[in-house]
Amino acid sequence: MRTCRVPGCNETTTKFGAYCTTHKAITRRHGDPLQEGITKAHLEPYVKIVEARIVKNATNPVWSQLEERWLALASAAGATLSAYHNGRPGVRQEVLAAHEIKKLREAVEPRTVIVMALAMYVMLDQEPRRFRSDEAFTTQLVRRVRGLSDVNVGEWYDHKTNRMKRVYRELPPRVVQVLANWIVPVLGGVGIKLAALERADQEARQKELTSFHQAVSDLT
């Protein structure tokens, strides 16, 4: 056994892996051994930004078109599941991913899924260092979208704290990446566009402020 590959970690690796038990678990859960989970609270300001952008562009058909695209993805997932239940062999991670999409479709409004995914792209643009890699980003994207559905949360009683503890049901990383491969093409383009618009707006505001300060300092 060797030392965990994460810099500064002195634990020994698991039998066949490059990381210790802890970092292996974090990698499975978050897509990178050093990736921190993005919480709903982290995302909240970006959700507000996306909602404001939707209000600003209320008559633009893109929002309903995104909903249609999401629903089309859900239909395709439904077809994958039906075929599987009718005995057609399916790729395991695709069947599991289809099941996740079905749960989301049944529990969450399409618009809510869309806003959450778009907010992740704005966050990526504004806080790129929060994401350790592309895979870590898509893993967080899938986690936040899945987190919209309570179906994925199990509860158990924690005797240490005398409280009900909510536990997020983990998906195998391969299933997460299948989900990302389905969701990103549907919502990613608009996400990147909104992120660019937000940045341009901020730069314009900053420029205004700088020119105001300049004017003030030029007063004689």
* Interface with Zn ion (CB under 5 A): 4, 6, 9, 11, 20, 23
Tell me how far, at minimum, the Cβ of 37 lies from Zn ion, in Å.
17
Tell me how far, at minimum, the Cβ of 31 lies from Zn ion, in Å.
16
Tell me how far, at minimum, the Cβ of 14 lies from Zn ion, in Å.
10
Q: Which CB, 12 or 64, lies closer to Zn ion? A: 12
Give the CB-side neighbour count of residue 130, counting CA atoms within 13 A.
18
Tell me how far, at minimum, the Cβ of 201 lies from Zn ion, in Å.
41
Q: Which CB, 13 or 139, lies closer to Zn ion? A: 13
Q: Which CB, 5 or 40, lies closer to Zn ion? A: 5
Amino acid at 183: I
Q: Which CB, 14 or 149, lies closer to Zn ion? A: 14
Mutual angle of helices 134-146 and 110-126, in 10-degree steps: 150
Tell me how far, at minimum, the Cβ of 23 lies from Zn ion, in Å.
4
Tell me how far, at minimum, the Cβ of 136 lies from Zn ion, in Å.
16
Tell me how far, at minimum, the Cβ of 19 lies from Zn ion, in Å.
5
Q: What is the dihedral of CA 160, 166, 172, 178, to 10 degrees?
A: -160
Q: Which CB, 20 or 194, lies closer to Zn ion? A: 20
**DSSP states of 9-74:** --PBPPSSSSS-HHHHHHHHHHSSTTPPPPPHHHHHHHHHHHHHHHHHTTT-THHHHHHHHHHHHH
CA-angle at 188, arms to 107 and 168, nearest 5°: 40
Instruction: Decide: helix, strand or coil at residue 158.
Output: strand
- Phi, psi of 157, rounded to the nearest 5 degrees: -85, 125
Cβ-in-10-Å burial (0-12, 13-18, 19+) of 59 comes to exposed
Q: Which CB, 4 or 47, lies closer to Zn ion? A: 4
Q: Which CB, 26 or 171, lies closer to Zn ion? A: 26
- Among 25, 184, 175, residue whose Cα is nearest residue 100: 175
